[in-house]
Amino acid sequence: MVLEFEKPIADLESKLEEMRVLAKSKNMDLSADITSLEEKIMELRKETFANLTRWQRVQLSRHPDRPYALDYIYEMTDNFIEIHGDRTVRDDKAMVGGFGDLNGRTIMFIGQQKGRNTKQRQERNFGMANPEGYRKALRLMKMAEKFGKPIVTLIDTPGAFPGLEAEERGQGEAIAKNLREMFKLKVPVICIIIGEGASGGALGIAIGDRVIMLENTWYSVISPESCSSILWRSWDYKEQAAEALKLTSSDMLANKLIDGIIQEPLGGAHKDMKGMAQAVKATILDTLKTLDALSPEERIDARIEKILLYGCCTRINMELKVIETGFFKLDGGAMFGVVPKSLWSRTNPADENNLCTWAMRCLLVVDGARAVLIDNGIGNKQDAKFFSHYYLHGEASLAGSLAQAGFQPKDITDNFLTHLHFDHCGGGTVLDSSGRIVPYFSEARYWSHAAHWEWAIHPNGREKASFLKDNLFPMQDSGQLHFLNEAAGTFMPGMDYFTADGHTEKQMIPRITYKGHTIVFAADLLPSVGHIPLPYVMGYDTRPLVTLKEKEAFLREAAENEYVIFLEHDPNYSCCTVKMTEKGVRLDRTFHLHEL
């Protein structure tokens, strides 16, 4: 099946096949033309799927070739044993579940199942469960809890079945009871939306420690068609309804209603079902590592707090404090890459050695008992030769700024490290009185992305000088190092993150909800105001073309959503906003955080 927006790609693929047949039948050498057309198809495919509308993603989530729950379960697991019936009425085939072996670990899988053909769709009721389906799901969850097995739910439903007989058998009560009981489950619960996530039918198996969406799925209180029929008395406005509902995975993550997104193969999950299943499997295993580190009580408390924050625009008790750690100098050419000095020097003038001054600005997020410091500057433990390259200056220091904010190193509960270059994590370790290098924050958990940690401890030749062993291994040796595994997720209520790979592998970019604003700690995705123009990409970036795309997408999102961008390295301002103009995204205004 070809969706409407895929037809230009399909037309080119048809021409490509004709060209191959012609070359073979006529014994002609058309290899150059075939290669050129293949490249054109790939570019068109990338452009098309990078710019899908919300309605087009809804269409993709419903693609008839898309993998369903049992496809994932059988592909990911060994020895899956399906369990049937709710022990009250009957077995609902729209809801499936059972124990499966995932890399040697027994897990309870539960999911809504659609059908491939007319007979299967009728048998599965189009993935719309009756009350007995939700009671069956709850029975399986309680069984998993009894035996101490994690639960994974795979959500793909246009909604709970709305028939009269379903209401008579207590559809609303069955879903409501699932919501209540899932809050209290003592085992880890991971909920993954693999297709459609409509209304209470999805929520009935979607209360978990982590709620994750595949890239081309949707999650909403109502479908675009039903929304259109209510608002416009017609289904003809379903595209406008989809835009208004903001129901895609990126919308849900931005609104802090989910915890992460699993990227799909180019063209959708059905283009590489095995690869997609492996990506889901890897996410489940990585997420379980994080959840296993928590006690049942901690998981339940966090689960409840997360759901109670749905719809909240700000954390009332949250405080943000700017922590200045001083200034240093870096070569202007290295900071702006291929951009001529005559252009970049307008915003960042250089000295006689072509060096520009940059801030090392951190952010302290205080929320209840937690004091989370984002990055920690360059530190002071390196020798004179090291510092002679970077010209540290200014009166501010990490210790002094913390003290000015009313905090001691022992008060920091978490140090969130965007990445492990020395100017972002060097302050996290110090020399003690015996000359040993130890963590500066004795009571804190240090957080790095797991993939970035591996990148840092096995550095490439280009970045080796930026990853210093004295900054890294003391955190690990002390047992204070912890990892985040997802490409995007929730760090704590009111603070999530996403990752960027252009500057370095899996740089984490925190996003904080504060006083009705979304504040994005841009780190080295956007070091300063001077880096807002798209071509202004640092020479330090390992993948500058990836940075270009990431920055373009981020700036567009920042303009559309009026993000406040927190600037770690700008020498003059801690914050800025951007706006959309006829010439693209441009600087709107600069200011300091305390002015919010």
CATH code at position 485:
3.60.15.10
Residues 33 and 94 in one domain: no
CA 371/CA 93 separation, integer angstroms: 48
Residues 41 and 76 in one domain: no
Per-residue pLDDT tens over the stretch 53-78: 999 999 999 999 999 999 999 999 99
Residues 118 and 14 in one domain: no
On whether residue 313 sits in a domain, the answer given is no
Residues 329 and 268 in one domain: no
* pLDDT score recorded for residue 71: 97
On whether residue 314 sits in a domain, the answer given is no
Closest CA to 214 of 196, 200, 229, 190: 196
Give burial (CB, 10 Å; 0-12/13-18/19+) of 120: middle
End-to-end CA gap in the chain: 51
**CB neighbours of residue 139 within 10 Å:** 18
Per-residue pLDDT tens over the stretch 541-573: 999 999 999 999 999 999 999 999 999 999 999
Segments forming the whole domain that contains residue 474: 319-595
The residues with which 218 forms a beta bridge, in sequence order, are 196, 248
* pLDDT score recorded for residue 309: 81
Number of domains, the chain: 3
**CB neighbours of residue 488 within 10 Å:** 22
CA distances from 575 to 87, 216, 363, 522, 566 (A): 59, 33, 12, 10, 5
Residue type, 89: V
On whether residue 156 sits in a domain, the answer given is yes
On whether residue 421 sits in a domain, the answer given is yes
Question: Strand, helix or coil at 157?
Answer: strand
Residues 269 and 160 in one domain: yes
Residues 376 and 509 in one domain: yes
CA distances from 301 to 56, 124, 165, 444, 493 (A): 37, 35, 37, 21, 12
* pLDDT score recorded for residue 147: 97
CA 263/CA 270 separation, integer angstroms: 13
DSSP string, 413-466: -EEE-S--SHHHHGGGEEE-TTS-EEESSTTPEEEEEHHHHHHHHS--TTTGGG
* pLDDT score recorded for residue 516: 87
Using 50 as the pLDDT threshold, list the residues of the chain that sit under it.
315
On whether residue 271 sits in a domain, the answer given is yes
Residues 378 and 298 in one domain: no
* pLDDT score recorded for residue 316: 53
Closest CA to 515 of 321, 347, 313: 313
Residues 277 and 425 in one domain: no
Residues 344 and 208 in one domain: no
Name residue, tokens 């059908």: 115
Domain boundary pick from 308, 328, 350: 308
Q: In CATH, what number is assigned to the domain containing residue 250?
A: 3.90.226.10
Residues 126 and 26 in one domain: no
CA 274/CA 179 separation, integer angstroms: 32
Domain boundary pick from 33, 51, 69: 51
Name residue, tokens 């021409």: 15
228 contacts 234 by C-beta, under 8 angstroms: yes
Sign for the CA dihedral angle at 221, 226, 228, 233 comes to negative
Tokens of 420: 């492990």
Q: What are phi and psi of 460, to 5 degrees?
A: -80, 165
The residues with which 514 forms a beta bridge, in sequence order, are 517
* pLDDT score recorded for residue 312: 65
Residues in the chain: 596
The residues with which 109 forms a beta bridge, in sequence order, are 98, 152
Closest CA to 373 of 314, 317, 319: 319
545 contacts 535 by C-beta, under 8 angstroms: no
On whether residue 496 sits in a domain, the answer given is yes
* pLDDT score recorded for residue 254: 85
* pLDDT score recorded for residue 313: 55
DSSP summary character for residue 542: S
On whether residue 522 sits in a domain, the answer given is yes
Helices (H), 238-314: 238-245, 249-254, 273-292, 296-308
Question: Strand, helix or coil at 510?
Answer: strand
CA 68/CA 221 separation, integer angstroms: 21
Residue type, 26: K
On whether residue 532 sits in a domain, the answer given is yes
Domain boundary pick from 308, 330, 349: 308
Residues 44 and 126 in one domain: no
Residues 270 and 362 in one domain: no
* Orientation of helix 171-183 relative to helix 296-308, angle to 10°: 130
Tokens of 422: 């020395």
Name residue, tokens 């795979």: 154
DSSP string, 201-236: HHHTT--SSEEEEETT-EEESS-HHHHHHHHHSSGG
CA distances from 21 to 12, 25, 29, 39, 71 (A): 14, 6, 12, 18, 34
